[in-house]
Structure formats: structure tokens, C-alpha cells
Structure 1
Amino acid sequence: MTLTNDEIFEMASTAVRTMYQRYGPDFKFPADVIWQNIPQDVDIPSTKRPHQPARLIRAGLLEKTGGMTKAQSESRAGSPTAEYRFGPELVQRAKHSTQSQAPGKRSPSESLTGIQLAMDSEGYVISVAELANFYLAMSVSPLVVLSGISGTGKSLLPRKFAKHTSSLFHAIPVQPQWSDNSDLFGYVPTLTPTKYIKGALIESLLEAKQNPEKLVIALLDEMNLAPVEHYFSDFLSVAETRTRVGQGITSDRLPIELPDEAQGQSSALTELLREIKLPSNLRIVGTANMDETTHTFSPKVLDRAFTIEFDDPDLTAFASNRNKKYDDGSLFDELASIAIRESNAISVQEAYSSSQELFEHIALLLSEIQEILAPAGIKFGYRTRDSILLYLHFWRELNLSDILTGYAALDFCILQKILPKVAGSGEALAEALMNLSSWLNARAEVQLDEDGIFAEFSGPLARSVQKVERMSALLNLDGSTRYWGA
């Protein structure tokens, strides 16, 4: 007899409740464990299973941890898959308040969940953990790069985020012939030295300067059609000069070529730009397709950016048109405001007193990764370390643990800030990748201590494990390996 979807859902619900009684409230698991807990004489076709976890989430029986783990069914054993835990219908978890949350306001987690639901109702598929990762990356760095294969929604993500947070948005299509910063910042023609030709980034800069309370997102679409370090290096250099002055953030002046003041032909525009610095509320989001028609990123770019790869879309996931909870025009302005607060730490030194234990623990883990990769000539410096520490500092400060566990956040950091530096060939690299895979897998063994810091960041790092295993396979197949496309 063929079971209906509702009958299968009832069986899955019973299985989840049984698992809760058997394993307790802290149990975390891949979805296929549910099917191991239904009666053995019931055969549920694999095509009927993928959409049931979403129904269980809506029923409050499940929720995603934001992490990835390994599937346990025979057909998919070892494959990375979403990690779940018991939902609010079974486990009442404490809701933490944050410094960012005024009475009656939504928490950052609630806002991110609301945006994810709104995007879902519009047909855009993204998990709340992936959305939180994008948000944290923008909170840390003025530059976020969305890379990967075409057709995965890279350009839509910043556009939709801006829409739902009432942020200002500008799309800038990068051209293959861009070779210096004049394409972004503008220039003065040689034959008309009193004239200024605006660059593609000027509108975003002026809008950010004139609206300091608003997040401004400038999308550099197809940013690696031209060599990024050629036209963007000056921006990256100025971004490195951000510093605290009183309660605000300042930087060096942006290197915009303007007519000489001695010519006496200054316009209102050139006067606005003459001493302009990098606005603290401006974020550059670049998209990049990694193929033979584009350029790879230099270490200078990778060091200063958060690189989020869209390379493994879940083709079994569909947006749900049925969820209308946030279709009433609700906006999440407060989320954008939190990301651009001038009181946010911009250095590890500023955040150290409130996150000392976290920083010391994560720095020790990063040191272990450094020791594993060093024999293959792969190292990373303070800039990479500090970006990871600030990402986790904001994760904790905003209390995002209910949508993204500590080890899932660490997994994103390793994947996005360390592994892009791994490339090359030879036996030393093969051994380093093998040792790194073993180290990553060992982190799934939970360790407990009085403060819980070990437990918080001990768990499956399946995203990084999958990438390292693919890079190892590519090395064995081709004799060399790389991060992109592996």
C-alpha cells in the first residue's frame, strides 16, 4: 500500500518523539536518522523523504543547528548533510537578550529568520545559517565575495537583503577592460584638466556619506572579469587604515583624482569628494564565477575579504510559497543598523576584554591548523586570524547560537578564510590535507569543561571536511589542487 505524504509525516513525527525520549534534548543528528526510527516493516520511498524535515520544522519538532554533519543511511553514508536538533515543541531553549535588542524589538536571530522566510516566500532558497554567515561576514569586513557556479543566486542575495532591511543598493557591472582605480573612482581627462568623470563607485560613496544611518551595499557584479587587484587595490589599502577616533571610525582619504583646486573650477561634486574617506556604513559585495573566462583572486584580496562559495546548491530544496508570515511588508531595518554601528569593534584589541576566553581558545585551534599546513608551505597571518576572531565575537555578541551553533560558525570561518589559501602540488601538500582532514573530523568529538567553551566549538565541521576531501581527490587525480571548484 502506498503511503500518503500525511501518513509519512505522522510516522516521522512519532519517530522524532521517540528519538527525543531515547537520546535526550541535546541530541543532534542528520535527517536520515529519523527513517531509522520508524517500524522496520514500513518502506518509505527515498523520493518521499526530502521534504518531510521542512514539515517537521514548521510543526516545531525539528530545527536546524546551522551545522553540517555526515549522513548515516546506506545510500548516502558519509555525505555532508544538514544537522538537526529537537525543536521548540519538544525542547524549550532559553532566549538570550542582546545589547542590540531594545524592549519590544526583534532579536538579530528573529530578524534573520524573518528575512529568510520572506526570501523563501519570494522563491529564493537560502538557509537561515547561510544568511547569518553572510550577515556576519558583512559585519566584519567591508568586502564580501560571493563565488561559485552560475545560477546559484549570488547576485540576488545582497539585492534581497538590502530590500528587506531598507538598505540602499547599487549594482555595478564590472567590465573586462578595467585596469586601474579610475574605473571605480573616476578621473580627470588629460585634455580637459578642469573636468571630472565620475567612476562607478561614486554614487555609492556619496549615498553612504550623506546617509550615515543607512547600510549601503554596492554590488560589484562579475568582479573578476578584470583582475581585481588592478582596479580595486586602492580601496583595499584604504580599508586597512580604518581606525577608531573617539566614538567614530575614520580612514585615510580615498585616492580619487580630482581637478586641481588652483584651476578654480571646482564643482559641488568635486568638493564633496575632495576629502572623502571610506564610509563605515558602506559594504562592497562582489560576485565571481570561477571559470576559464575569469581571473583568480590574489592573496591580497583573499586576505581582506570574506569569500562565500555557492558551489553546492541543494537541488532537492524548494522555496515554500505557503509561508506568508512576513509577506505583509515587514522590514528588518534594525538588523542593518546593528551591522554598521560605529560602536562595533573593528579590531581584536577593541573586543578582547569581552571575548578573551573565546579568542584564546580559537587562536589555539588556528595555531594547530597552521602547524598542519606549514610543512606544505601554507601559512596565514594575523589578518586572517583577526577576521575569524571578530566574526565569532559578533556571533556571540548577537547571540546567534539558536540559528548557528559555535562549531558551525567555526566551520564557516575555516572554509572561507583558511582553505582558499590552500593550493599547489606535491607529497607534502597531500600529507597536509590528509592530516587536516583527520583534525577536522576529530573536532566532532565533543569535549566538556566547566565553562563549556570546548563543547561550544566541538562538533562536526562537515563543510570544511567536504572541501578538504575534494581538494585531496583533485590532487590525486590531477597532481595539483586548488580551492575553487573543488
Structure 2
Amino acid sequence: MSGRNEEAITADVSPASTPPVLDADATALLTQPDAREQALDSRERSLKERERQSQRHAEELMDRETELEVAQSKLQRALADVASSQRQVAEADSSVEARARDVAQREVEASAGFAAKNRESLAELMKAHASLRAEVERLQADLDAARLRGIESLETRLAEERRARTAALDAELQADRTRHHVKLSAEGAAHDAALAEMRARFVEEQRAALEDLNRQRAQLQEKAAELHRGLGELRWKEEDLAGVRAGIERSIEERARDQVSSLERQLEALRDDHRRDRELVISLELQLSAAQALLARFGDNPAEIERRIAQQMQKIGALEKELLMRPSASDKELLVTLQEKERVWAAERERLVRESTQLKAEQSRWLTGVADLEQQRERREVAERRLDVLAGEMEKYRAEVDRMRALYERPEERAARVGALEEPWRTDFKRAEGAAPKELDWLNGIATACESSGMRFPKRLVHAFHTSLKAAELSPLTVLAGVSGTGKSELPRLYSRFGGLGFLSLAVQPNWDSPQSLFGFFNSVDNRFNATTVLRAMVQAQHSPDHETYKHGLADRLLLVLLDEMNLAHVEQYFSDLLSRLEQRRGESRGVTLDIDLGAGMPPYPLSLGRNVLWVGTMNEDETTKTLSDKVIDRSNLLYFPRPRTLHSRAKVTLAAESPLLAESAWREWLQLRSPFTPSELEPFRQGLEEINQRLEYVGRALGHRVWQSVEYYMANHPEVSDARARNDQEALQRTMRRAFEDQLVLKVMPKLRGIETTGESRRNCLDPIRKQLESANFGLGLSDDFEIACRVGHGAFVWNSARYLENAE
């Protein structure tokens, strides 16, 4: 409790805290004494129950003493031994009762002291709350006053600058009128000199205007930097306040959004002022030109003036043509400078747009995380209540378990528990003999056997599934998703049956909440280890056939484990330990093990995690299932089954003969542990993935190094790529590499886009450029239809759940 109070005090002292947060903390602290009083009542009831049990136990002891007295009269020769036993039992009982009373008394005293300390802590927290609330209000008032002073100062500077520019333009206009009257009386040479002077002055005015624009842009950049720092500080505050309730954090986010909107409106107002000033300058220049034209047309001698103007205009036209034909070095430098500034301004605008999009994406992810945290908080409260209820039960049974363990435990206990999990899963296997088959011939045999059994799978789907299993070193889990009834569970089963792999299917239950649900647990009531089928199969798969003590080992064969409907329960709860250990196996030459708990007082059983066990899962997406976390998706290949357009009949539900078990050495021969590609062969695909990664920056997403490594490893292990390289067919190699790259875009990259908004800036800056890249002729990919479906079916969010590209390939 003291640790929680300290955390609450730390959170309140933070300058980023707001009065609503402090009120919520105080309310929570006010409710804690009531909860503690309820806990004390519960403990008092538990103590009374224990006293009643002690009384019943004492009555039972009295009955036993009576029986012993009767037996004492019958067994005189054992009188001394029986009397000694009675005294020992009575002393032990009295000691137990004394300990129970002592423990109960200590619990009552500790609970009373805890309540007093809790009330004192509450009073201190209320004082700290009041002081912090006053400090927050003062800081908020100072911030508002500083903001108002800044706005007034900015408006004053803009008004003064506007008046100064207007006065300067008026003075300059009057000076131009005067100079124009003088120039009209001059000859052609003087007119040419005046024209050159006007051109130089115009260039100087442009340079001054550009300098003014640069100064204003610098001011805008400073405002944008301040805005960016403010938003960064806001994100930092949001991370610190992640434990506060969702409603309060939404209000904080709304206030932050209002501040951002206010700053953006101020920025837009400054841009409007600048635009109006520039339009005013242009208007004055047009008025000056019109005045000059009027003076030139209506002077003292209009005919002579018009003739001179015509001559000068001809000269000007000739000079302009010559100037256009031969641009000066200064004009070229000016043009290059203006173009460079234009590129800089465009890049700056693009950066600001990108930052705004990132902030929106961060906000969306933050709101989702807050809702998840609220759900987790509710679950934690329920679990804490259950823990309080079960704590008393655990104490009551612990003594009984210790007594029973002393009666039942024997030196051979561990051997019996290990024997339960080392019992072979199956013994009726047939092993294939002879040389390893060719990979493509082996896959074609599987497809032919599936068709003869009435099941049809796209050839490309079978190859993608096979390659995903081969890529288990980087992606140890293959997940099959799609419409129910399309063969997600049948493909692994028939692949194993006709390919010669051991197959084990597990029906995941909604109540799976720990690794014990997957592997088993020690049953203290029956005093034995309840090993699951998958645990016995994994143990069997790690023992060699010629092991001294273990028969029917399958270390030289392959085992495929299917987690059917794996997302009925939270995958992270029952599979995360195994997934982490499988990830540690990556590139490791030494054996990696997973400890299996055999019960209290027993050393764990080290389960070896060999590479001959392959993991596959199927999933549906409805209201009864759970979504996969980023950890699971990032370490998996997510393969979608196509929606059937033509429904096929299955006239006879029979399966072809089962193939003998394939040797694990044949599987190793098919693996490509090193990339066989040259840098030039991989460069187009690497650049394509990097461009997608750059676009994901606009929505706050990213692709890590593991994604590219998985893509390259998948392409190297694709059977068609290996066959084209073996035949030295460059055209087929390029075609199959593009196809494998397309598979990995679907399996690894598209799940990363899930949840991106399909409207507004997210679509313009992220989804549309990615789609154009997918449609580019450089890759020749066929993902446009599926990408359009993903943008359309998610109700405003990107959701990839189709596989038309497989049908198009067929």
C-alpha cells in the first residue's frame, strides 16, 4: 500500500498533472478505507470460521482420546507407548491452536494499524492535493497571460509593419511619379538608362520582399518548432499519465487538441496577413503601371510622346528578345536561387504535413491503448478481489498439502512424474526409406493426393504454406486465416498426411490462460503430473529412435502441431513463453530448452525445442475471438485463404493412402540457411520495401529489420525460386522472386497496415502511394484488387482479409 501511495504522490507532483486527475486520485484514495474495512470484515469472518473448525477439531480429538482409553484397557502391554503418543498429539494440537490464535491476533493488530496509517496517508495526500491544485491553477493562469501578451505583441508588430510598408510604398509611388515626369523630357538614351534603373530597382524590391518573406518564414518556423515542442511535451505527459482513467485522459487530449487547433489558427491567420500584404504590393505596382501609362499617353504632346513610346517599346521588345535569347548570369543565379528556395519551402511544407499526420496517428494509437488499459484495469480489480478470496483458502489448504506431501512423497516421485510426460504419443508410424525426393515433385504429389481426396487448394497457396514452414527460423508460427469452411484446418492435416509429417491437432479452448493449458500441470490431489498430448509428442520428437531408455523416438522425423481456432483464447497468455523460446533458438547452434514445472520441490523437466517441430495455427475473426497482438503477428506468417467464387462438391469423402514419415534430413536439404542472392538481385525489392516504410512514417508505423530479413529468407527458401536457380533460368528466377516477394508483402507487410484510416491525410500520404507502388510496372504485382477491398471493408480502417491474388495467379 505504501508503494501505491508513493506512486500517487509522484504522479500528483508532476507539473503535467491537472485538477481532474488529482480529483480522481483523491476519490480513489477515499474509497480505499471502505475497501479495507470490507477486507477486515472478510478476514474476521474467516477467523471465526477457523475457530469453529478448531472447535470441531478439538471435539474430534476428544473422541479419539476416548477411543484410545478403551483401547488402552484392552492393550495393556502397549500402555506406555499409547500414553506417550497421546501426550505428543495433545501437545502438537495445543501448539497448533496457540499458533493459530497468535496468527489471528497478529492479523487483527496489523489490520487495525494499517487502517490508521491509511487514514494518515489520506490526510497527507489531501493536503498535497490542495497545494498542487493551487500550483496548477497558478501555472495555468501564468500560461494564459503569457499567451495573451504574445498574441497582443505579435498583432502590434504586424500593425506597425503594415503601416510602415504602406507609408514607404506611398512615398515611393510619389517619387516614381516625379521621376517619370523628368524622364519624359529626356531622349532615348536617357529613357534606356531610366528603364535599366527601373529594372534594377524592381530586382532590389523583389530581393527585399524575399528577405521579408524569409524573415516571416523564420518566425513561422519558430512558431512551428514551439508547437512541435509543445506536442512532444504533451506526448511525454500522456505516457506519464497512462494509468489514469480513460475519461480523464480523453479530456486532457481534447484540451491539447484545442491548443493545437488554436496555434494552427494563429499560424493560418499570420499566413493570411502575409498573403494580403503581398496582394497589396501587387495592387500598388499595377496602379503605378497604370499611372505611368496615363502620363505617357496624355502628356504635353501626345503624338510625339506616343511616337517615342512606340519607338521605345520597339527597342524594349528587341532588347527583351535579345535578353531572352541570352540570359545574363545574374538572372540565371537569381532563377536558381528562387528555385532552390521553392524546393526548400515545399520540403518544409511536406515535413509539417508529415508531422501533423504522425501526431494524428499517435493520438489514435494512444486512445486505443487507453481503452485497452481501462479493460486491463478492470480485469486486475476482478483478479485482486478473487485473490483476496482465495488467499484464505490457500492458507487453509497449505498445511493440509504439506501433511499429505509428507505421507505420499517418495524418492521415486520425480521418476514417476517424468514417466507421465515421456510416454510415447504414437507408435504406429512408418518411416520412409531411400533418397530424398525433389522438392517440387514432393509438393506436386501432395496437391495430386489432395485432389484425389476431394480437396482442391491453389498451387500457389500450397507453395506459400510450405515456404512459411521452411522459414520457421525467423517466423516460427504460421497462421492461416480466412472464411470458415475454406480448408484452413484441412490443409495442414492433408499436407502432413500426404507429405509424410507427424500431425497433431489441438482444439484451443476459451479458458486457456497459461502455458499449463498447453503442456499440462502437476495434480496435487492425485499426486501425479497430467501431461497433455502435445507435451508427450514434443518429448517423443526430441528422442532419437535408438535411444537407450526411450523407445519410438522421432528425432529423425518431422512433427506438425496445429492450434485450431487459436484465437478463441488470448494467444499471448498460453503461447508467449514458447514463442519467446523459439525466437531465442534463431541462429543458435546449442540446444534451447523450455522448463516444465513438475510440482513444488521438484526440479523442472528441460524440454528440448528441436527444429523438427513445426507450429501452425488457424483463426477466425468474429465476436467470440481475440485479435492477435503485434508480438505474435511480427513473429508469424499470416496467410489468408481466398473466398471461393465457385463452390465445389465432394462426392465421396475418402482420403488417399497416408505416406510414410519423411526423413528430417530431406527437409534440411531443402532449406537455404544462407541467402544465395547477389546485392543487385535484391536491390529492387529492398528499395520497394524501404519506400513502403517511408510512407508508413506518415501514420506512425514502421517496418523493422526483422521484416526485411524474413522477406529475404522466405524468397531464398521458396521452392520455385530454388528450382529456377538450379536450372540457371534467369527469366524464371526474376518471375519467381517477384512472386515470392508478393507473398511476403501479404504475409508480413499488409498486417502492419491494419487499422490505418482510409480517408484524409492517411490515405493521401500513405495508402495511395503504397497502392501506386504495388501497381508499378517495376514489380508486376497483382495485389490491387485485394488492396482496394482492404480499404473498403474496414469501415474507415484498413483491414486486409482477402486473397484474390491467389486466384489471379491460378
Report TM bin, short chain.
Answer: 0.5 to 0.7
Give the Cα separation in 1 of the matches to 2:610 and 2:505. Answer: 18
Q: Give SS of 1:480's match.
A: coil
Give the TM-score normalised by structure 1: 0.64
Change (3 A) 1:182 1:398: same
Deviations 1:89-131 (A, max 9, x none): xxxxxxxxxxxxxx98642112211211111111111122111
Instruction: Check conservation: 1:184, 1:200, Cα contact below 8 A.
Output: no
Note closer, same or farther for the CA distance 1:315–1:162 as it changes in structure 2 (3 Å cut). Answer: same
Q: In the alignment, what sits opposite 1:393? A: 716
Aligned letter for 2:756? G
| Cα drift, residue 287 of structure 1 | 0.8
- Unaligned 5+ runs, structure 1: 1-102, 447-457
Give the counterpart of 1:132 among 450, 453, 463.
463
Q: 1:428 to 1:128 in 2, by over 3 A?
A: same
Match runs of 1:108-147 below 5 Å = 108-141=439-472, 142-147=476-481
CA distance in 1, matches of 2:488, 2:606: 33
Q: CA deviation at 1:181?
A: 1.0
1:470 matched to 2:789? The reply is yes
- Judge which range, 364-373 or 197-206, deviates more: 197-206
Q: Tell me which residue corresponds to 1:373.
A: 696
State the one-letter code of the partner of 1:126: F
- Match for 1:313 among 644, 652, 667? 644
Match of 1:286 among 590, 611, 617: 617
SS of residue in 2 equivalent to 1:276: strand
* Partner SS state of residue 333, structure 1: coil
Going from structure 1 to structure 2, the CA distance change for 1:320 and 1:138 (only over 3 Å counts) comes to: farther
8 Å Cα contact 2:557-2:661 kept in structure 1: no
Deviation at 1:482, TM superposition (A): 2.3
Contact 2:541 2:612 in 1 (8 A): yes
Q: Which amino acid aligns with 2:793?
A: L
Describe the SS at the equivalent of 2:584.
Answer: coil
Cα distance between partner residues in 1 of 2:488 and 2:528: 37
Report the CA distance between 1:380 and its aligned residue: 1.8
State the shift of 1:152 in Å.
0.4
In the TM superposition, what is the alpha-carbon distance from 1:378 to its structure 2 partner? 2.2
Q: Is the 8 A contact 1:172 1:220 kept in 2?
A: yes
Q: Secondary structure at the match of 2:616?
A: strand
Worse-matched range after superposition: 351-360 or 232-241: 351-360
Q: Displacement, 1:474?
A: 3.1
Would the aligned equivalents of 2:497 and 2:659 in 1 still touch at CA under 8 Å?
Answer: no
Cα distance, 1:433–1:332 mapped onto 2, change above 3 Å: farther
Equivalent position of 1:201 in the other structure: 534
Deviations 1:22-71 (A, max 9, x none): xxxxxxxxxxxxxxxxxxxxxxxxxxxxxxxxxxxxxxxxxxxxxxxxxx
Number of the residue aligned with 2:518: 184
Q: What is the correspondence of 1:29-40 to structure 2 with a 5 Å cutoff?
A: none
Distance 1:217 1:399 in 2: 25
* Secondary structure of the structure 2 residue equivalent to 1:120: helix
Q: CA deviation at 1:208?
A: 1.8
Q: Distance in 1 between matches of 2:700 and 2:587?
A: 35
For residue 424 of structure 1, the aligned residue among 753, 756, 762 is 756
Q: Which residue of 2 aligns with 1:333?
A: 662
| 1:413-461 deviation per Cα after TM superposition (whole angstroms, max 9, x unaligned) | 101111012123252332222111111011xx25xxxxxxxxxxx32x2
Q: What residue number does 1:20 align with?
A: none
Pairwise CA distance, 1:376:
1.7
Tell me the residue number matched to 2:351: none
Q: CA deviation at 1:187?
A: 2.1
Aligned-residue Cα RMSD (Å) equals 3.2
1:482 aligns with 2:799: yes
Deviations 1:354-408 (A, max 9, x none): 6554444432221111112221222121222211111001126632687982222
Q: CA deviation at 1:330?
A: 6.4
Structure 1 pair 357–254 and aligned structure 2 pair: CA distance change class (3 A): farther
For residues 441 and 153 of structure 1, the distance between their equivalents in structure 2, rounded to whole angstroms, comes to: 30
CA contact (8 A) 1:146 1:309 kept: yes
Q: Which residue of 2 aligns with 1:362?
A: 685
- Equivalent residue in structure 1 for 2:628, among 278, 287, 297: 297
Q: Cα distance 1:244–1:303, how it changes in 2: closer, same or farther (>3 A)?
A: closer
Deviation at 1:303, TM superposition (A): 0.5
Count of residue correspondences? 345
Residue identity in the other structure for 1:365: G
Structure 2 portions without partners, runs of 5+: 1-433, 544-553, 726-731, 804-810
Deviation at 1:201, TM superposition (A): 2.6
- Work out whether residues 146 and 307 of structure 1, in 8 Å CA contact, stay in contact via their aligned partners in 2: yes
Map 1:337-348 onto structure 2 (within 5 A). 337-340=665-668, 344=671
- State which structure, 1 or 2, has the greater radius of gyration over its C-alpha atoms: 2
Is 1:173 equivalent to 2:493 in the alignment?
no
Task: Report deviation, 1:173.
Answer: 0.4
1:227 lines up with 2:570 in the alignment: yes
Tell me how far apart the structure 2 counterparts of residues 356 and 331 of structure 1 sit (CA, whole Å). Answer: 41
1:231, 1:367 → 2: CA distance?
35
AA aligned to 2:799 is: R
Change beyond 3 A, Cα 1:362–1:164: same
> Which amino acid counterpart does residue 692 of structure 2 have in structure 1?
I
CA deviation after TM superposition for structure 1 residue 479, in Å = 2.5
Cα contact 1:281–1:340 (8 A) shared by 2? no
Letter paired with 2:787: V
| Aligned-pair CA distance for 1:316 | 5.7
Give the C-alpha shift of residue 190 in structure 1: 5.8
Q: C-alpha distance in 2, partners of 1:175/1:320?
A: 32
Q: 2:606 aligns to what SS in structure 1?
A: coil
Q: 1:80-119, aligned counterparts within 5 Å?
A: 106-119=437-450
State the AA in 1 paired with 2:594.
L
TM-score, length-normalised on structure 2?
Answer: 0.39
| 8 Å Cα contact 1:215/1:337 also seen in 2 | no
How many angstroms apart in 1 are the aligned matches of 2:576 and 2:791? 32
